[in-house]
Amino acid sequence: MHLLKKIFRWFSEGESARASMRGASTGATANTADPDAHARLVREAAAHVAAGRLAEAERALMDALSERHDDAEALLLQGLLLKQQGRLEEAMDSLLLAAHFRPDLAEAHYQLGLIVSSQGGLTGAEQHYRRALRADPRHAQAALGALLVKREALDEAVDCFRAVLGIHPDHAQAHSNLGLLMAARLDRFAEAAPHLEEAWRLAPDDPDVICNWAMYLQQRGELDESIALLDRLIEADATDPIPRLNRALARLKMGDFSRGWVDYEARKQAGWPYSARAFAFPEWKGGELADRKILVHAEQGLGDQIMFASCLPELMAVAGHCVIECAPKLEALFRRSFPSATVISSAGSEDGNSDEKFRGIDCHVAMGSLPLYFRKGPDAFPTHRGYLRADPQHIAAWRRRLTELPGRHKIGITWRGGARSTRRSVRSVALDQWLPVLRRADTSLVSLQYTDCREELEQIRHNHGIRIHHWQEAIDDYDQTAALVSALDLVVSVQTAIVHLGGALGKPVWVMVPAVAEWRYLQRGERLPWYPAVRLFRQRSPGEWGPVVEEMVRALTQWAAGNGRAPDGGA
């Protein structure tokens, strides 16, 4: 409402006050029988907005536009008023007309960008923001930067925010967004801190600045302090899902599952990391399922789907029948692991109303919502020796191939995880840093790396005489990946989906965890509640992998002395 009142106040102050926004353009000229009546009606609308009388303001604007239908600025104000009331389609109509009559009206393009972006149309939103920039180079740059972050165009987003700060060095939002982008996505903490601190100095009460600062604190491992700030935001506006989702990540990382999963439901309103889908049948909220057919629909990446699938046995035990949707790569593995369920691929299943394979379903639940009902506390995580099952024939075939390799122990490794935008630099450990692990005698090493690693494998062979075996056919087919992992003695990995796969298969997996890890790896401890056979080796200080490698070498010596079984007795 603050922006709406500000713009209506600007309009009501007269022609001279509007010149700066209009620039040198004369705009569209219109014939009007009574220009004074038109101006009076707009002033009335401004007064109504100032008093919070939105219905009266809307009527006054309608009357003003009946006097002068092509007044772009009045159409802009009408669009803002409708947008404020949540009437987005009507708002877009008014804003599009405003932009039609005044193509140089930057605010109209900017507001259209905001609406389209809120509806998930990132490409269309970017077009509107760029039109706003062409009309006024000072306009919409910060919003365009935020949108480019969503589109993973991170370098261009950095340039956008810096361009804003070049014009407006006291732009708190640009400082805040640039700082969080550098800290949370690009791992450039030294550059991030000054921007976040400056944003806090400029706008300590701005909700977005507070939220970004809270997320920065999470990146520094200061979870209690982050939660305190997010609590403040949620108390001020309980309808905003972003602070609640961010609080969920902090609570889950702390092991506060009962409250963390409740907050995690906010992802459905936030649109990240969950994309909302419409179904013709209701969402399950924990009620009776004995005679009902429930769809568990896929969300997020392979590792997330594998992790959340640990809840499926409990759901299947209480439901009449389960239809499990998963990524195509997981379909064969899930079908074998959950034989009493119907397993379908998520490929081409965006429309939950018309798809034939959803026929007869009574209710649905997102896979990431299952822990809300089945993992409410540490004691709710079952001790298991694996809930996924690889193909026995494939396992036998891989065991035969592995026995042909030299050495007594066969260890799978991954050393690079994530993408640039998902903290790859923090999650990855260069092969040169693995040398104390790679040089172990009586061991053959097998690459489980899913990205192109041929050059790295050749370099480690050429420079150090270490051969790491790599079978691309095992990587391209995830069912074969599961069989190969099952045939290995041990997996040593950074944070990748292989950790989830190995843990769900019940195989011993050792994970090199950065000092500030993803929420799935918790804040402290050597164990993951999801996977009893997974062991964590944590960094003590950011970027320092040497002590982690040394600890792992000692553990490998102990493991090898125990006939190749994990010290904890993992399978």
User: Residue 350: pLDDT band by 50, 70, 90 thresholds?
Assistant: low
Per residue in 371-396, is it b (16+ CB within 10 Å) or e — as a string? Answer: bbbbbbeeeebeeeebbbbbbeebbe
Beta bridge partners of 325: 344
Q: Model pTM?
A: 0.78
Q: Indicate the SS3 state at residue 565.
A: coil
CATH number at residue 117: 1.25.40.10
| 283 in any annotated domain | no
Same domain, 401 and 367: no
Distance CA 206, CA 7 (A): 19
Picking from 338, 358, 380, the residue at the C-terminal end of a domain is: 380
| 148 in any annotated domain | no
pLDDT at site 425: 63
- Expressed as residue numbers, the domain containing 366 is 293-380
Q: Indicate the SS3 state at residue 279.
A: strand
Residue whose structure tokens are 């604190």: 217
Same domain, 347 and 403: no
Same domain, 410 and 488: yes
Same domain, 52 and 122: yes
Other CB atoms within 10 Å distance of the CB of residue 2: 6
Average pLDDT, the chain: 86
* Share above pLDDT 70 across residues of the chain, in percent, rounded to a whole number: 86
Q: What is the 3-state secondary structure (H, E, C) of 359-375?
A: CCCCEEEEHHHHHHHHC
Helices within 172-206 (DSSP H only): 172-180, 189-202
Beta-sheet pairing, 531-538 with 527-528: antiparallel
Picking from 380, 409, 424, the residue at the C-terminal end of a domain is: 380
Picking from 356, 380, 404, the residue at the C-terminal end of a domain is: 380
pLDDT at site 27: 40
Between 286 and 417, the higher pLDDT residue: 286
Distance CA 64, CA 62 (A): 5
| 498 in any annotated domain | yes
| 211 in any annotated domain | no
CATH number at residue 318: 3.40.50
Task: From 197, 274, 263, select the one nearest 230 (Cα to Cα).
Answer: 263
The pLDDT tens digits of the residues spanning 84-143 come to 788 888 888 888 898 888 888 778 877 888 788 777 777 777 787 777 777 676 555 656
Same domain, 432 and 546: yes
Per residue in 221-260, is it b (16+ CB within 10 Å) or e — as a string? Answer: eebeebbebbeebbeeeeebbbbbbbbbbbbbbbebbeeb
Contacts for 417 with CB less than 8 Å, ≥ 6 apart = 424, 427, 428, 493, 494, 495, 496
The pLDDT tens digits of the residues spanning 292-301 come to 999 999 999 9
Q: What is the 3-state secondary structure (H, E, C) of 296-329?
A: EECCCCHHHHHHHHHHHHHHHHHCCEEEEEECHH
Between 285 and 52, the higher pLDDT residue: 285
* Share above pLDDT 90 across residues of the chain, in percent, rounded to a whole number: 56
Same domain, 324 and 402: no
Same domain, 405 and 480: yes
What total of structural domains would you count in the chain?
3
pLDDT at site 2: 46
Same domain, 95 and 128: yes
Distance CA 235, CA 538 (A): 35
19 pLDDT higher than 60: no
Same domain, 482 and 543: yes
pLDDT at site 14: 45
Terminal alpha carbon distance of the chain: 60
Q: Indicate the SS3 state at residue 437.
A: helix
- Least confidently predicted of 160-174, 294-308, 330-344: 160-174
The pLDDT tens digits of the residues spanning 63-92 come to 888 878 888 878 888 888 888 788 888 888
pLDDT at site 570: 40
| 190 in any annotated domain | no
| 385 in any annotated domain | no
Same domain, 429 and 360: no
Same domain, 402 and 340: no
Between 38 and 34, the higher pLDDT residue: 38
For residue 297, give Cα distances in angstroms to 268, 278, 287, 559.
Answer: 13, 11, 18, 39
Same domain, 458 and 360: no
The pLDDT tens digits of the residues spanning 224-256 come to 999 999 999 999 999 999 999 999 999 999 999
